[in-house]
A and B are shown apart, each in its own frame.
Chain A
Amino acid sequence: MLSRVADSLFWLSRYIERAENTARIVDVNLQMLLDFQRMDDEKIKDHWQSLIKSVDEEELFDALYKKPTSESVTEFLTFQSENPDSIVSSLSRARENARMVRDQISTEMWEELNRMYLFVRSKQARKQWKSDPYGFYKLIRDGSHLFQGLTDSVYPHDEGWEFIQLGRHIERADKTSRILDVKYHILLPSVRDVGGAVDVVQWSAILRSCSAQEAYHHVYVNSVEPWKVAEFLILSEDFPRSIRFCCQRVDASLRRISGTPEHEFSNEAEKCSGRLLSNLNYSSMDDIFASGLHEYLDGIQRDLNRIGSAIFKTYFFYPATDLENEIRTQQHQQQQTRDHTSPATS
């Protein structure tokens, strides 16, 4: 398969997953505000500040908005085209990538993506976002699910499909780790607060942003405990949004692409992913908390980045370059070196 096509499929899928995750995060944070009583402005500000931090866009946000409010932050994460990770930006990029491989994907996939893209850029989208944000973010999530469902059911499960899976699962693992990491920050000041009312709300919210509440309660019947939530989202073997689950998928896709058997590797990407997976397979929550949850999650994000760039080097090595700015004309000028020529006779 052409590298350019594989590259576009990978990013197409990654951007859609990104849009979905951003929608989840914003939605849950909005809902959380409802759960809190007596939030003063300062608290609200803190609440949103942490969200901006989770996407590493504090500077950009400060340049564009006066202060973090529910409206400004959700606008920033949803519609702001300057923000490369906003839902609108993610969907635009997903569509751009889909256009590049329009001949490779099915009409249904293209139409669904195109519909989402046209919707988020419409006036109607803004209107709905104002009047019914939950409904709005649900539409984004549903769109992504429909797209993924279509991909599974109409796209041939060949090499291209594996690249789509890779993009989706790397992105998802990364986002789950970020969601956990942010809340970890909030909860950090006092470990003794663990088990308090605020805490339960916060950790429930995390589960909700990963659509994991029901699944969690299947496993842990009773209470929502930070320890268990973290364990569930990091180490669950079968919950599809857990980091471990996603890494299993990444590893499996990489192996199917190259045909390398398990426990071996044929390139850097497989080496990184194999390592990360066995780390997850052989970790317990005790180890994780002992090394520090934040540090642990940070390490996972770094590993995921490493896998991403190794995939790039292995399979897409020639990037979709901007030839216009890259190809230079080389021409040799006559008389270029005549600096020291003595004056000519007449």
Chain B
Amino acid sequence: MRLSVLHRTVYTYRQPVTDSVNEARLRPLDHPFQDCLTFDLRTDPPSTFSAYPDFYRNTVHVFEVATPHRALTVESRSLVETRPPPLPPDNQDFPFEQLKKSAWDLACYEFLQSTELVSCGIAAWRLAVDLVPKPSDVQEAAFALMRGTYRTFEYCPHSTQVHTHMDEVLRLRRGVCQDFAHVLIGLSRSLGIPARYVSGYLFTQPGPGALRGTEASHAWCEVHLPGWGWLGLDPTNNQVVDERYIRVALGRDYHDVPPTRGTYRGPESREMKVEVEVRSAAPDRNQKPMG
């Protein structure tokens, strides 16, 4: 599937601000089931970018706007080719005992720990064993946790903040896709299943049957099946990740992968508008320029 993405964030400030230093994680990842064909990042006021790969191999762009400005626009456009990610064979079992090895594995260890916004403590564990009373197969358990998260929590825009901790979400029983992902991660980790956070975009046709999380950046998670690899699960929509999902960045939780993050000097009052457009960009058709 060829998809084009426009992602625009506009900050407006009451008074001019200066020394704005920011990091952006907006470039779609390259991996076996996804190619980022083109990527263009701009800001207004204009700035120059430097880029580096972070610990999880996400591309981070750094930019600064030092001079006084009243508004800052960060706009990225990307063209991505996605392919259906493979699914584990139907007949393959993933017995829980095999998870023990993951605990000492370089690739899994830190996706089993409590992190800044996710806790795999007692509260998560209780809910997890309610949903999966007798865990035996990792894949089955993960699906049950996804279903359980989807059913237990109410999808409710603006009910939480960007820094809302998963424990708070467990109390509220509602949240946005970020919170759904955090919950599923916490539940999985509490059972010993490595789970990581993915931020990206989801393409869906508008109208009835539209999926949640398509008009802004989306978030879901990936669980590790021992001996097989990472499987993407979207608890907000209760489905396995397919070719409509564009992966941009992954990490332990949201804190590792915010689309933009930074600091500036100036007064606190500020407004932010985010606009995301994901469109099908069939290679054989002339695409109208966006924006």
Q: In the complex, are there CB atoms of A and B closer than 8 Å?
A: yes
Whether B162 and A341, one on each chain, are in contact in the complex, defined by CB atoms closer than 8 angstroms, is: no
Whether B272 and A342, one on each chain, are in contact in the complex, defined by CB atoms closer than 8 angstroms, is: no
- A-B contacts, CB under 8 A, total: 94
> Which of A22-30, A245-253, A331-339 is found at the contact surface with chain B?
A331-339
Query: How far does the alpha carbon of A276 sit from the alpha carbon of B48 in the complex, in Å?
Result: 46
Query: How far does the alpha carbon of A99 sit from the alpha carbon of B252 in the complex, in Å?
Result: 44
Closest partner residue, chain A, to B163 (CB atom): A331
Whether A334 and B260, one on each chain, are in contact in the complex, defined by CB atoms closer than 8 angstroms, is: no
Whether A334 and B219, one on each chain, are in contact in the complex, defined by CB atoms closer than 8 angstroms, is: yes
Whether B215 and A341, one on each chain, are in contact in the complex, defined by CB atoms closer than 8 angstroms, is: yes
Interface readout for B184-226 with A: 1 if CB under 8 Å, 0 if not? 0000000000000001000000001111111111110000000
Query: How far does the alpha carbon of A133 sit from the alpha carbon of B100 in the complex, in Å?
Result: 82
Task: Determine whether B237 belongs to the interface, using a CB cutoff of 8 Å to chain A.
Answer: yes
Task: Determine whether A321 belongs to the interface, using a CB cutoff of 8 Å to chain B.
Answer: yes
Task: Determine whether B155 belongs to the interface, using a CB cutoff of 8 Å to chain A.
Answer: yes
Task: Determine whether A124 belongs to the interface, using a CB cutoff of 8 Å to chain B.
Answer: no
Which one, B214, B268, B276, contacts A328 given CB within 8 A? B268
Closest partner residue, chain B, to A344 (CB atom): B212
Task: Determine whether A190 belongs to the interface, using a CB cutoff of 8 Å to chain B.
Answer: no
Task: Determine whether A330 belongs to the interface, using a CB cutoff of 8 Å to chain B.
Answer: yes
Task: Tally A residues with Cβ within 8 Å of B.
Answer: 21
Whether A334 and B268, one on each chain, are in contact in the complex, defined by CB atoms closer than 8 angstroms, is: no
Query: How far does the alpha carbon of A327 sit from the alpha carbon of B21 in the complex, in Å?
Result: 10
Task: Determine whether A153 belongs to the interface, using a CB cutoff of 8 Å to chain B.
Answer: no
Which one, B215, B258, B263, contacts A332 given CB within 8 A? B258
Find the residue from A335, A340, A345 having the highest chain B CB count within 10 A: A335
Within 8 A of B (CB), among A259-291: none
CB-CB under 8 A for A334 and B263, given A341-B215, A345-B208: no
Which residues on B sit within 8 Å (CB–CB) of A321?
Answer: 265
Which residues on B sit within 8 Å (CB–CB) of A336?
Answer: 216, 272-274
Task: Determine whether A37 belongs to the interface, using a CB cutoff of 8 Å to chain B.
Answer: no
Which residues on B sit within 8 Å (CB–CB) of A331?
Answer: 162, 258, 260-262
Query: How far does the alpha carbon of A50 sit from the alpha carbon of B162 in the complex, in Å?
Result: 57
Whether A330 and B11, one on each chain, are in contact in the complex, defined by CB atoms closer than 8 angstroms, is: yes
CB-CB under 8 A for A345 and B266, given A332-B258, A338-B158: no
Whether B209 and A345, one on each chain, are in contact in the complex, defined by CB atoms closer than 8 angstroms, is: yes
Whether B210 and A342, one on each chain, are in contact in the complex, defined by CB atoms closer than 8 angstroms, is: yes
Closest partner residue, chain A, to B208 (CB atom): A345
Within 8 A of B (CB), among A291-346: 321, 323, 326-342, 344-345
Closest partner residue, chain B, to A325 (CB atom): B268
Whether A337 and B162, one on each chain, are in contact in the complex, defined by CB atoms closer than 8 angstroms, is: no
Query: How far does the alpha carbon of A129 sit from the alpha carbon of B259 in the complex, in Å?
Result: 64
Which residues on B sit within 8 Å (CB–CB) of A333?
Answer: 161-162, 272, 274
Query: How far does the alpha carbon of A345 sit from the alpha carbon of B239 in the complex, in Å?
Result: 12
Closest partner residue, chain A, to B217 (CB atom): A334
Whether B157 and A335, one on each chain, are in contact in the complex, defined by CB atoms closer than 8 angstroms, is: yes
Whether A335 and B209, one on each chain, are in contact in the complex, defined by CB atoms closer than 8 angstroms, is: no
Binding site for A on B (CB under 8 A): 9, 11, 17, 20, 22, 155, 157-158, 161-162, 176-178, 199, 208-219, 237, 254, 258-268, 270, 272-276
* Interchain Cβ contacts under 8 Å between A and B, 17 examples: A326-B265, A326-B266, A327-B264, A328-B263, A328-B265, A328-B270, A330-B261, A330-B264, A331-B258, A332-B261, A332-B272, A332-B274, A333-B272, A335-B216, A341-B215, A344-B210, A345-B208
Given contact pairs A339-B157, A344-B212, A345-B209, enumerate 19 new A-B contacts (beta carbons under 8 Å): A326-B266, A327-B264, A327-B265, A328-B265, A328-B270, A330-B11, A330-B260, A330-B261, A330-B262, A331-B261, A333-B161, A334-B259, A335-B178, A337-B273, A338-B158, A340-B215, A342-B210, A345-B208, A345-B210
* 7 residue pairs, one from A and one from B, having the closest CB atoms: A333-B162, A335-B176, A338-B157, A344-B212, A332-B260, A330-B262, A337-B274
